[in-house]
Amino acid sequence: MSSMRMLISRASRILSSGAARSEVELALLLSRNNLTNLRTMATKAVTIENINPNILKLEYAVRGPLVIRAAEIEKELEKGAKKPFKKVIRANIGDAHAMGQTPITFIRQVIACVTLPELIEKGGYPEDVKQRARDILNACGGKSVGAYSASHGIEMIRRHVAEYIERRDGHPADWNNVCLSGGASNAIKNCLQLFCNDIDGKKSGILIPIPQYPLYSATLAEYGLEQVGYYLDEAKGWALDTAELERALRDASAACNVRALVVINPGNPTGQVLTRENIEAIIKFAHANNLFLLADEVYQDNVYAKGSKFFSFKKVLTELGPPYSGHELASFMSVSKGYMGECGLRGGWAELINVAPDVQANLYKCISAMLCPTTLGQTAVDCVAKPPQEGEPSYELWLKEKTAVLSSLDKRAKMIADTFNQMKGFKCNVVQGAMYAFPTIELPPRAIEAAKKAGRAPDVYYAFKLLEETGICVVPGSGFGQRPGTFHFRTTILPQPALLQEMLDIFKDFHEKFTKEHS
Amino acid sequence: MSSMRMLISRASRILSSGAARSEVELALLLSRNNLTNLRTMATKAVTIENINPNILKLEYAVRGPLVIRAAEIEKELEKGAKKPFKKVIRANIGDAHAMGQTPITFIRQVIACVTLPELIEKGGYPEDVKQRARDILNACGGKSVGAYSASHGIEMIRRHVAEYIERRDGHPADWNNVCLSGGASNAIKNCLQLFCNDIDGKKSGILIPIPQYPLYSATLAEYGLEQVGYYLDEAKGWALDTAELERALRDASAACNVRALVVINPGNPTGQVLTRENIEAIIKFAHANNLFLLADEVYQDNVYAKGSKFFSFKKVLTELGPPYSGHELASFMSVSKGYMGECGLRGGWAELINVAPDVQANLYKCISAMLCPTTLGQTAVDCVAKPPQEGEPSYELWLKEKTAVLSSLDKRAKMIADTFNQMKGFKCNVVQGAMYAFPTIELPPRAIEAAKKAGRAPDVYYAFKLLEETGICVVPGSGFGQRPGTFHFRTTILPQPALLQEMLDIFKDFHEKFTKEHS
């Protein structure tokens, strides 16, 4: 962006000077289309000066400048550019299928059948696939996935999600409190929007972990909400210390009304899995301070480490009993993660627990203007919420595919942490869950100076060098937040084993070279 | 909502009085779940008092209280309730498949093939279907629709959309300016968000037609933007008079900075198709007043009346030449309307024309946090942007299906306007395009009094009576806006011909009875 802005301001100067030679120079710099734009720049209705200022502030590192550069490099390679590497390795985003994970057959068969209903009779699919497709079509307007659904989703699928939650937690779930969405991000944004309200002249603040998944920082910036960061404790495997929550709340209270607490479990980018005791302490803290709880639990199926177990906030809250069992909570889930990795289909849900009925009604009203989440994404949600059961024809294959994905992720989670820990200059916590490692890197003082000269944060400087020299695309720690003076990056564990090994080998060589060059 | 709030405030009073008898009464009124909620009501983090106030204001009549009641009635009928009718006729929403329209085979075959790639070889589909599916998969990460796409969509599909626009308009379109989205609503909201900025202590204002599609009023309320209504001229077939635009702009200028102008063409709910001259005048007005143009052109395929023709704002603006050809414009399109009616798939796009490059880059940055529109919705967009061409194996069937849908809509558009105009108490403009009629109704003074007593707007009172007594669900005119003292409703033209005739007959009887009862 900043280079684009420089270009435009330079171009504007050239244009206003009226120099003919400069026009030629300009035409070389810009396409004809952009040139037309520049001529009328002065009279644009929307300019960088009068645009929504929150949009200027918003940053989303997972798809930020580094990732834009990675795409450019891919195009350069396609066109035959000579580079010290042959391909870009995209370890920047939790996009399993893009990295070679294969889809779960049951999900794809059901979606194909509801899309083209003649396949139900003619496709030769298992009976449970056919029955599921019929059930979903019967729940659609005009028996077509081309009809709008209710804004909070198809009732049958919401019921299946409630049943899934009941099986998961051992406690009742009310399908009326399940709100389907086009991916968890959508549901999280809708929920955060409830808090946009300046009370007594103070903005509303939201507690989020540092490091965090940048959907949160981006959404808070977009909505003009105050980001109140609490640090996860790297030395204790990224544990969540309630004393740090107290500290963050205390420090922020003068500047804003802190109204909600976001917890990501299993953690993104940090890969920790919270213990039950930790969750209990967090709920008690939220209750004592009247904070709405947002539990981002999209990685609930991705738990690898021995001794680690996923406990939902809903389960722990329910089992704590009154008054905690009445505390407000929204829990988010997605079909993009877990063993399915169906990112492109856009399916997810929120379960709203103990939310005031009129607040919930207003939330449902608000989403109604967007009509509905995609019915095919909802179909994927249905397959995840109600997978084939033992004895049903699709069960064996489904279990085999699911197990293969999860056990391979398990191996890669261990491999990545072990390898980084064997490399000089890296330190990496155990990847207990989710799909990421977030190692700390030692950067020599001369690298920090060089970064300063280049106008970049040291970790951003490092990640750009890594990309340009090796083709490996990771996201610098500053995109997620980190304690001042420490440097990290997030890498996914998603490259298939051989590619992951290759990536780690390249990484090691690069880091040695980088350290030598900057010492 | 208001009865729910009364109930809750009553319940709160009973609870705080602590009367045991009242608790029993309360348990009868409320579920256990709600009761638990009430106990902790005082300590809720989000209440109706501290919720985002914009969400309280937001209304979306197409799915408002009347439609919620329609769904309740359907459930009552399912359970065997005795009513003076057997079914609800949903004429409230432009949901073609829900009303019996069948999908276009080509679209569904391609989606089935990209979902389950084994179908490409095994499904026995036409060669152009197979090739399209292969092309789309090759454009997806890991050759799977389960991978995220770029946030503005798959490059190949954006290129196809640009080619579609070029064919439509006869002028170049740059694929870099095409931004795919999960339905047009999503793209429109993202675009309106650019204007959220109070300048010199004044809010930004957006000119929208009255009557309007309530996505606009809802979004402006949600974003805290000022709604600046300009009236369409019912007496002139809902034409758009630039003198009225001048009037609206003048009246609003003291209170806000008017920055953009929304035009819906073909009109929703009003069904008019703007003439080329009219569009020229609107563009000149927008240019003279430095207003960003938002052209909602989702009904561009739905033009029926003799002499009516769709001209895109892009085409007219381009052909006007400088300075108008450099004016900022965003044009929106959807796969939910037209001949395809694929509402549930959520596919759409915006073309951004003459938008400042840094503004556009910020818009693209902003949507990146939501990752991507659904890949299967994008697949539908691809099929619409690049339909089978003459000589290709799917062409004949595609053309037959498309023509059947559009000619049937054409007949129904005429039938509905003609029938209303033959009925006493109704006056209906020609439905030149889109999918709706917006007739005016005469309401006797006693009906207006009765509505006042019932605490409802007269047209809302009428529409509720219609629903309760006949099962017909239309949307009252006040949900779209209308000149004070006039009463309308919007009905879709989507019920299949026999059902539409039945609906109009029932409507006629109801109106006669209603008029008699209220005179």
Rg (CA), chain A: 25
Chain A: residue whose CA lies nearest to B41: A356
Nearest one of B67, B34, B328, B330 to B188, comparing CA atoms: B330
Q: Which two tokens stand for residue B406?
A: 């559009």
Average pLDDT of chain B to the nearest whole number: 92
- How far is the alpha carbon of B40 from chain A, nearest alpha carbon, in Å? 7
Of A93, A142, A373, nearest to B98 by CB-CB distance is A142
**Cβ atoms within 10 Å, residue B16:** 10
| pLDDT for res B247 | 98
Tens-level pLDDT at each residue, chain A (519 residues): 344 444 444 444 444 443 333 333 443 344 444 444 444 445 799 999 999 999 999 988 777 889 989 999 999 999 999 999 999 999 999 999 999 999 999 999 999 999 999 999 998 999 999 999 999 999 999 999 999 999 999 999 999 999 999 999 999 999 999 999 999 999 999 999 999 999 999 999 999 999 999 999 999 999 999 999 999 999 999 999 999 999 999 999 999 999 999 999 999 999 999 999 999 999 999 999 999 999 999 999 999 999 999 999 999 999 999 999 999 999 999 999 999 999 999 999 999 999 999 999 999 999 998 899 999 999 999 999 999 999 999 999 999 999 999 999 999 999 999 999 999 999 999 999 999 999 999 999 999 999 999 999 999 999 999 999 999 999 999 999 999 999 999 999 999 999 999 999 999 999 999 999 998
Asked which of A12-16, A43-47, B115-119, B501-505 is least confident by mean pLDDT, the reply is A12-16
Of A97, A112, A328, nearest to B147 by CB-CB distance is A97
A4 touches chain B (CB under 8 A): yes
**Chain centre distance of CA B458:** 24
How many interface pairs between A and B have CB atoms less than 8 angstroms apart? 332
- How far is the alpha carbon of B514 from chain A, nearest alpha carbon, in Å? 31
Answer yes or no: do B292 and A45 touch at CB < 8 A: yes
Collapse the DSSP code of A329 into the 3-class scheme (helix H, G, I; strand E, B; otherwise coil) and give the result.
strand
Collapse the DSSP code of A343 into the 3-class scheme (helix H, G, I; strand E, B; otherwise coil) and give the result.
helix
B101 touches chain A (CB under 8 A): yes
Task: Determine phi and psi for B251, rounding to 5 degrees.
Answer: -65, -30
- How far is the alpha carbon of A468 from chain B, nearest alpha carbon, in Å? 21
Nearest one of A161, A124, A200 to A347, comparing CA atoms: A161
- How far is the alpha carbon of B151 from chain A, nearest alpha carbon, in Å? 9
Q: How far apart are CA A207 and CA A230, in angstroms?
A: 7
Q: How far apart are CA A189 and CA A361, in angstroms?
A: 17
Length of chain A: 519
Q: Are A336 and A314 in contact (CB under 8 A)?
A: no
| pLDDT for res B61 | 79
Q: Which residues pair with B441 in a beta bridge?
A: B426
A368 touches chain B (CB under 8 A): yes
B6 touches chain A (CB under 8 A): no
Residue A124 burial class via C-beta count within 10 angstroms: exposed 0-12, middle 13-18, buried 19 and up: exposed
Which tens digits make up the pLDDT trace of B274-316? 999 999 999 999 999 999 999 999 999 999 999 999 999 999 9
Return the residue matching tokens 């029926």. B304
Q: How far apart are CA B41 and CA A371, in angstroms?
A: 30
| A63 chain-B contacts, CB cut-off 8 A | 151, 368-369, 371
Chain B: residue whose CA lies nearest to A336: B146
Q: Which residue has the higher pLDDT, B89 or B29?
A: B89
A54 touches chain B (CB under 8 A): yes
ipTM exceeding the 0.95 mark: no
Answer yes or no: do B344 and A195 touch at CB < 8 A: no
Residue B12 has pLDDT above 50, yes or no: no
Q: Are strands B475-476 and B472-473 parallel, antiparallel or unpaired?
A: unpaired
Q: How far apart are CA A172 and CA A43, in angstroms?
A: 59
Chain B: residue whose CA lies nearest to A2: B358
Q: Please compute the mean of the pLDDT values over residues B494-519 and round it to a whole number.
A: 94
CB interface of B with A, residues 334-353, below 8 Å: 340-346
Answer yes or no: do B215 and A369 touch at CB < 8 A: yes
| pLDDT for res A3 | 42
Q: How far apart are CA A409 and CA A426, in angstroms?
A: 21
Strand stretches in B84-191, DSSP E: 89-90, 178-181
**Chain centre distance of CA A40:** 38
Q: Please compute the mean of the pLDDT values over residues B319-333 and round it to a whole number.
A: 97
Q: How far apart are CA A37 and CA B507, in angstroms?
A: 53
Chain A: residue whose CA lies nearest to B337: A146
Chain B: residue whose CA lies nearest to A140: B98
Q: How far apart are CA B181 and CA B162, in angstroms?
A: 15
- How far is the alpha carbon of B48 from chain A, nearest alpha carbon, in Å? 6
Amino acid identity at B166: E
Distances (CA, A) of A284 to A250, A310, B275: 16, 19, 64
Q: Are B257 and B199 in contact (CB under 8 A)?
A: yes
Of A111, A182, A325, nearest to B182 by CB-CB distance is A182
| pLDDT for res A24 | 37
Q: How far apart are CA B113 and CA B100, in angstroms?
A: 24
| pLDDT for res A19 | 37
Amino acid identity at A386: K
Identify from A374, A384, A496 which residue to disrupt to test chain B contact, counting B C-beta atoms within 10 A and taking the largest count: A374
Q: How far apart are CA B258 and CA B69, in angstroms?
A: 37
Q: Are strands B89-90 and B472-473 parallel, antiparallel or unpaired?
A: parallel
Which tens digits make up the pLDDT trace of B371-381? 999 999 999 99
| pLDDT for res A61 | 79
A403 touches chain B (CB under 8 A): no
Which tens digits make up the pLDDT trace of B184-193? 999 999 999 9
- How far is the alpha carbon of A289 from chain B, nearest alpha carbon, in Å? 9
B29 touches chain A (CB under 8 A): no
Sheet (strand A436-437) strand order: A436-437, A489-492, A475-476
Which tens digits make up the pLDDT trace of B376-425? 999 999 999 999 999 999 999 999 999 999 999 999 999 999 999 999 99
CB interface of A with B, residues 258-287, below 8 Å: 259-260
Q: How far apart are CA B439 and CA B269, in angstroms?
A: 10
Q: How far apart are CA B423 and CA B431, in angstroms?
A: 16
| pLDDT for res A141 | 95
Q: Are A207 and A245 in contact (CB under 8 A)?
A: yes
Chain B: residue whose CA lies nearest to A372: B344
- In percent, the amount of chain B with pLDDT more than 70 equals 92
Domains of chain A and any CATH numbers: 2-51 (no CATH), 61-98+401-517 (3.90.1150.10), 148-374 (3.40.640.10)
Query: How much helix, strand and coil, in percent to the nearest 5, is found in chain A?
Result: 50, 15, 35
| A98 chain-B contacts, CB cut-off 8 A | 141-142, 144, 147-148
Is the omega angle on the peptide bond into residue B444 within 30 degrees of 0, that is, cis? no
Q: How far apart are CA B516 and CA B233, in angstroms?
A: 30
Q: How far apart are CA B174 and CA B158, in angstroms?
A: 9
CB interface of A with B, residues 455-474, below 8 Å: none
Return the residue matching tokens 């993660």. A337
At a CB cut-off of 8 Å and minimum separation 6, what does B132 contact? Answer: B110, B113, B382, B383, B386
Task: Determine phi and psi for A271, rounding to 5 degrees.
Answer: 70, 10
B138 touches chain A (CB under 8 A): no
Nearest one of B448, B415, B453 to B519, comparing CA atoms: B448
Which tens digits make up the pLDDT trace of B216-264? 999 999 999 999 999 999 999 999 999 999 999 999 999 999 999 999 9
B183 touches chain A (CB under 8 A): yes
Q: Are strands A472-473 and A89-90 parallel, antiparallel or unpaired?
A: parallel
Q: Please compute the mean of the pLDDT values over residues B10-26 and round it to a whole number.
A: 41
